[in-house]
Amino acid sequence: MMHEKVGLEEVFDRRLDFPDMDARKRFLRLVGVDDAKSRLTKLLGILVNPAGPKQWAEKHHKGAVTLLDYVERRPPLVVLAGDVGTGKTELAETVGDAVARQEDISVTLYPLSLSSRGSGKVGEMTKLLSAAFDEVIRAGEKLKRPNNAKASGGLILLVDEADAITQSRENTQMHHEDRAGVNAFIRGVDQIAQKRLPVAIILCTNRLSAIDPAVRRRAADVFEFNRPNDAQREVVLSSPLTEAGFSAADIHRVVAMTGPQKGREYGFTFSDLTQRLLPTLVLDAYPTKPITVARTLELLTTISPTPPFRDGGI
Ligand SMILES: Nc1ncnc2c1ncn2[C@@H]1O[C@H](COP(=O)(O)OP(=O)(O)OP(=O)(O)O)[C@@H](O)[C@H]1O
Ligand SMILES: [Mg+2]
């Protein structure tokens, strides 16, 4: 029914409050994304705590009103884009902890529920998005303090796997309903910006090119994620394989074998290493044998990396 109220449990997955030790551990474990980590943390920090830049200016650039005004007017949206298994979701889910610690403020993550999206009923997506933005705006208004004083907390709305929602309206194949979804999203972003709420929106996608230009234009920053290079695979593999008794030379062989090869121009993704290779080594040996280098090299010839997500278009 069209006027049915959407329950909050249907709109969001479990909300997460930061600081949180587990999130901190996951955040610190992410390799090769230091630049994204620090830029994203600052950007979100400014959004959820507009008083921060004021204090900074007070100290370093007294009276820099225009400069501050532009910073305050930054759009509340950031995009994390790139190949599969490269840390987009992991970073989006944990960066709230870094923001909370940096700004000394409590931050809550509102993950838009994935499960409630696929039903495909007409109007469903638009209703879901409107309900999500309504709630986040309501919560944001409660946290906001007058005169840009430090808010009593910040919110992050996470829209993961966003392709379906924010696909280009230019796409003529697109169903009328999807266009309404894009419009609801843009409306929500603009409302948050206008009201200057301590709310940031993170959008994750495999396909930057599929994202509607009006959505992209509203992004304060776009972070691109890639598969790990040799050095990054080595950082990920080094401690678990050392624990398994591998020498530095053994680890180098595994690093080389998980990289691009003759006849395969792409290497393993981060998740191929952490969620497939390492558990496979353990399960193969478990429960009676130890992990060995010889068996690892043998197994490696049977595991193929996830093919890259080809982002057709511009
Ligand atoms: N940069 C990284 N450093 C270390 N481990 C990583 C990194 N990126 C991903 N991983 C590992 O891979 C797992 C999956 O990562 P994540 O879910 O963030 O991928 P994603 O980029 O969201 O992929 P998809 O596009 O398929 O959703 C993580 O839980 C983590 O174990
Ligand atoms: Mg993901």
Ligand nearest to the CA of 275: 1
Say if 313 falls within a structural domain. Answer: no
Expressed in angstroms and rounded, the spacing between residue 155 Cα and the centre of ligand 2 is 20
Question: Do residue 132 and residue 99 come from a single domain?
Answer: yes
CA dihedral 185→196→107→111, nearest 10 degrees, is 0
Q: Which is the closest atom of ligand 1 to the Cα of 205?
A: 25
Question: Do residue 41 and residue 167 come from a single domain?
Answer: yes
Q: Which two tokens stand for residue 314?
A: 């511009």
Question: Do residue 18 and residue 159 come from a single domain?
Answer: yes
d(CA 188, CA 294): 55
Expressed in angstroms and rounded, the spacing between residue 10 Cα and the centre of ligand 1 is 25
The angle formed by the CA atoms of residues 269, 273 and 275, to the nearest 5 degrees, is 105
Q: Which is the closest atom of ligand 1 to the Cα of 30?
A: 3
Say if 308 falls within a structural domain. Answer: no
Nearest to 237 by CA among 255, 217, 253: 255
Expressed in angstroms and rounded, the spacing between residue 150 Cα and the centre of ligand 2 is 32
Question: Do residue 165 and residue 275 come from a single domain?
Answer: no
Q: Which two tokens stand for residue 155?
A: 């919110």
CATH number reported for the structural domain that contains residue 15 in this entry: 3.40.50.300
The number of distinct structural domains making up the chain is: 2
d(CA 268, CA 164): 26
Q: Give the chain's length.
A: 314
**pLDDT digit string (tens) for 253-311?**
999 999 999 989 999 999 999 999 999 999 999 999 999 999 999 999 999 999 998 76
Q: Which is the closest atom of ligand 1 to the Cα of 309?
A: 25
Strand 199-205 with 154-159, pairing: parallel
The pLDDT, as a whole number, for residue 314 is 38
Question: Do residue 172 and residue 36 come from a single domain?
Answer: yes
Say if 310 falls within a structural domain. Answer: no
Question: Do residue 39 and residue 177 come from a single domain?
Answer: yes
The residue nearest atom 12 of ligand 1, judged by CA position, is 271
Expressed in angstroms and rounded, the spacing between residue 206 Cα and the centre of ligand 1 is 12
The pLDDT, as a whole number, for residue 126 is 83
Half-sphere exposure of 112 (CA within 13 A, CB side): 27
Nearest to 35 by CA among 224, 237, 227, 230: 224
Say if 3 falls within a structural domain. Answer: no
- Cβ neighbors of 55 (< 8 A, separation 6 or more) are none
**pLDDT digit string (tens) for 253-267?**
999 999 999 989 999
Expressed in angstroms and rounded, the spacing between residue 80 Cα and the centre of ligand 2 is 10
**pLDDT digit string (tens) for 37-61?**
999 999 999 988 878 898 899 999 9
**pLDDT digit string (tens) for 192-235?**
999 989 999 999 999 888 888 899 999 999 999 999 999 999 99
Say if 257 falls within a structural domain. Answer: yes
d(CA 311, CA 313): 6
Domain boundary among 162, 196, 225: 225
**pLDDT digit string (tens) for 82-138?**
999 999 999 999 999 999 999 999 999 999 987 656 555 557 778 888 999 999 999
Say if 314 falls within a structural domain. Answer: no
Domain boundary among 184, 204, 225: 225
Domain boundary among 225, 244, 274: 225
**Parent domain of 279:** 230-300
Question: Do residue 121 and residue 32 come from a single domain?
Answer: yes
- Confidence class of residue 74 from pLDDT cuts 50, 70 and 90? confident
Question: Do residue 284 and residue 165 come from a single domain?
Answer: no
CB atoms within 10 A of CB 287: 5
CB atoms within 10 A of CB 243: 9
**pLDDT digit string (tens) for 169-194?**
555 555 555 678 888 999 999 999 99
- Does any ligand 1 atom lie closer than 6 A to the CB of residue 87? yes
Question: Do residue 207 and residue 263 come from a single domain?
Answer: no
Spell out where the chain has E strands.
16-18, 77-82, 107-111, 154-159, 199-205, 219-225
Instruction: From residue 58, give the alpha-carbon distance in Å to each of 52, 198, 199, 238, 280.
Output: 10, 21, 24, 45, 55
Q: Which two tokens stand for residue 273?
A: 């290493």
Question: Do residue 16 and residue 115 come from a single domain?
Answer: yes
Question: Do residue 131 and residue 270 come from a single domain?
Answer: no
Spatial strand order of the sheet with 199-205 comes to 16-18, 107-111, 154-159, 199-205, 77-82, 219-225
d(CA 79, CA 238): 31
Cα separation of the two ends of the chain: 39
Q: Which two tokens stand for residue 245?
A: 């008794």
Say if 34 falls within a structural domain. Answer: yes
Q: Which is the closest atom of ligand 1 to the Cα of 32?
A: 1
Say if 64 falls within a structural domain. Answer: yes
Question: Do residue 244 and residue 220 come from a single domain?
Answer: no
The residue nearest atom 9 of ligand 1, judged by CA position, is 87
The pLDDT, as a whole number, for residue 312 is 55
